[in-house]
Structures are given as C-alpha cells and as structure tokens.
Structure 1
Amino acid sequence: MIPLDTLMLFIVTTFVIVLSPGPAAITVTAEAASNGFKRSTLIIAGIAAANVVFFGLSATGISALIIASSTLFSIIKWIGVLYLLYLGFGAIFSNAGPLSISASNKGRAAIHKTFLRGFILELSNSKALLYFSALLPQFIDISRPIAPQLITLCLITVLLDLFCYSLYAYLGYKSLRMSIKPFIIKWINRTTGCMLVFAGLKMATVEK
C-alpha cells in the first residue's frame, strides 16, 4: 500500500493540476454549453481514458522512452499543438466550428466522435505526458509491488478527472440554460477559440 501522506500529496497535486484551466477544461465547458451536460460526459470519458493509457505507458516504461527520444516527443507535442490550433481557429472563424454554441446532430457516430475528441486532445497533450513520466514516479515506492500502486493512483486520477471536469461541464450547462443573446454567443466562441490557440502556442514552447 501507498503511505497515507504520499497518497494525500498525490491527490492534492493531481487535483490542482486537473482543476487548473487548460485545453481539456475549455473543451468540456464549450461542449456542455453547446450540447448539454450529458453530451460533455463523453469528452470527459475520453480524457479519462487517455490518462489510463498514460498510466499504462508509465507502467511499461514506454513513456520514459518517449521522453528520452527528441523525435518522438516532438511528434507528440506538435500533434497536440496543431490539434489545439485546429479547434481554436475553427471556433474563431466558423459559426459551425467545433466549439460553436449550437446543438449538433446526435447518433452513434456523433457519440464516438465526441469521445475521440476528448481522447485525442488529452493523449496529444505533451504536458500530460511530462506529468505522468516525470512526476508520477515520485509517488511510487520501488521497494513495494509496483502494479497495485499504479492501479491505485490511476483510479484516483480517473475519479479526479470525472469530478473536476464535471464541474466545468456543469458551468457550461448552466450557461446553456440561460437566455444568451447572439452577440454573447459569438463572443464566447471567439474567446474560447483564442484561449485554445493560446494554449496551443504555449504547448509549442514545452521542452522535455
């Protein structure tokens, strides 16, 4: 088992990181404002699933290999940068962009697409890769069985993802329930898009 003080430090650290506004939080909020709270849970599930993959990579040591390879790290980083810029400029210049405040079509294909949006967004986040590769090992006691510790920390991270991003989704959903004038919707789209573009540009400066 993980010592209680180490476990609490991990919970607090991860909670602060997850709760901090970022591309994932922006996307979840915008999706809830566009299509309701229920639809935004698909993006949240995608983000959580990507973090499970990160834990799997950390457990097998692949993430350390990615960090060690400048080429692999750069590929992942620039995929994330381009994806954020795509989402951001799509919201800024198109009324029907990915983050536009308007109801989208529903169906199995739309559900899968929404889930994948969250999954790809988090999986291509180079900062998340750095977190799981550099910070996560600090909470692992190599003198104890590794697998139970990773499973415990993974479950905690998933629960924190679900809780924190659900808060953002609720805020977005509440904005949907309010009577929002067209010019405010346009301002929200443009502001959200600019924030995603800014996040993409900041991600481009991340070094391993």
Structure 2
Amino acid sequence: MNIELYTFFLVTTVMLILVPGPAAITVAKQAASHNSKLTFLSVLGVASADVLFFILSATGIASLIIASSLVFSIIKWFGIAYLLFLGISAIFSKAGPVNVDVQLTTMNPAKAFSNGLVIQLANPKALMYFSALLPQFVDPKEPVILQMVLMGLTCFIADLVVYSLFGRMGAQLARKRVKSWVINLINKAAGTALIATGIKMVTLGSTK
C-alpha cells in the first residue's frame, strides 16, 4: 500500500469515527460518571467490536480477491457508490445538539468493557462501513494479508485515540450541550472526506 492510498484510508477512517454516534455518547457518559480507567475500558470495548467487524469484512474481501477478480471489482464499485451515498447523506443530514445526562453509578471494569463492546456490536453500520471501505484501498497485486493487517491496526489505534478524545469531552458534555452547528460541521467534514475518497477511488480505477 503506497503512502498516498494509506493517507486517504487514515483520513477517511478518522472522519468516520469522529461522527458522534451511540458509542461516542456511551464513552462520554462513562467519562462524566466514572474514572479514566473505566472510560478507557469502554473505549477498548468499542475498539474490540470494530476489530471483530474488521475481521469479518477483511476475511470476506480476501476470499473474493482469491476467488474472482471480476466479483471483487463489482464489489469495489458498489463500495464506491456506497461511500458517495454516505458522504452526501452526512452533508445534508440535520443534527440536533448532543447532551449527556450524568448518573453516578457503581461499575466494575468488566461491565465498563462490555458496555463499549455491546453498544458497538449493536451498530451494524460499522460492518457496512468496513465492507464498503476496505475494497477501495486493497491492491490485489500486493500481499493482501499485510495490507489487511496494516489497515486493521490503523483502525484499532484510531478507535482508541478518537474515542479517548470523546471521553475527555465527557465532563464538558455533562455540563452543557454541544451545539447543533458543531455536530453539523463534523458531519459535513466527514461527508466531504467520504465523497473525496469515493471520487479518488473512481479516478484510480479509471487509470488502471
């Protein structure tokens, strides 16, 4: 995987994670209600769920590459269309303010981890994201396993970093709402990144 393709993958992945969703709100609540150790365990749970989704997607995509280059190409173009759809939807979506209600409760480390794991596993969009995203950045002419490992580690680390930032924002979220214009700005930035990725993949595909 060349550096340009990897950079596109990294930016797109981070922008996807940055869009506030159930996992981000859960982590923020943990940070507002409990200590940083428990919050990190929730973040680790979210990242572990994404690892499972990534493995499922990567295994299927690797099988397609081995079985049929034509089928892989078809899936790749469907993925491009899906990325463009996600980008347009994010740009034109209307988001409301985010508010975190703090409820101080006792929680053990196992529950903190399972909360993050379950909330992300219950979100099938993550699996769809990976299924659409990975084919765009895989070069069938290079070692597929190494590419998958690199992208998997990147996703895991990005999850840890971004969701930890959501955790740090927990106290602020507990005191006041995050304004709707901030959420809309994040959505539009993420949407623009997704559309840029889709267009870039179309350009790369047309030059091969």
**Residue deviations 1:153-173, cap 9 Å, x none?**
111111111111111111114
Instruction: Tell me, yes or no, if structure 1 residue 24 matches structure 2 residue 23.
Output: yes
SS of aligned partner of 1:103: coil
Is contact 2:45-2:115 (8 Å) kept? yes
Instruction: Tell me, yes or no, if structure 1 residue 105 matches structure 2 residue 106.
Output: yes
Cα shift at 1:22: 1.1
SS of aligned partner of 1:61: helix
Cα shift at 1:14: 0.6
Counterparts of residues 146-165 of structure 1 (less than 5 Å): 146-165=144-163
2:9 partner letter: F
- Give the RMSD, CA atoms, in angstroms: 2.8
Q: How many residues align?
A: 144
Q: Which residue of 2 aligns with 1:138?
A: 136
TM-score, with length taken from structure 2: 0.62
Is contact 1:41-1:166 (8 Å) kept? yes
Distance 2:45 2:123 in 1: 13
Q: Which residue of 2 aligns with 1:120?
A: 118
TM-score, with length taken from structure 1: 0.62
What is the percent sequence identity of the aligned residues? 41
Counterparts of residues 62-101 of structure 1 (less than 5 Å): 101=102
SS of aligned partner of 1:164: helix
Distance 1:132 1:43 in 2: 21
Distance 1:145 1:12 in 2: 22
Distance 2:58 2:16 in 1: 21
Is contact 1:44-1:161 (8 Å) kept? yes
Q: Which residue of 1 aligns with 2:87?
A: none
Cα shift at 1:46: 0.5
Is contact 2:28-2:173 (8 Å) kept? no
Distance 2:46 2:118 in 1: 8
Is contact 2:54-2:130 (8 Å) kept? yes
The more displaced of 148-157 and 113-122 is: 113-122
Counterparts of residues 40-55 of structure 1 (less than 5 Å): 40-55=39-54
Distance 2:145 2:120 in 1: 23
**Residue deviations 1:73-109, cap 9 Å, x none?**
xxxxxxxxxxxxxxxxxxxxxxxxxx75233224xxx
2:166 partner letter: Y
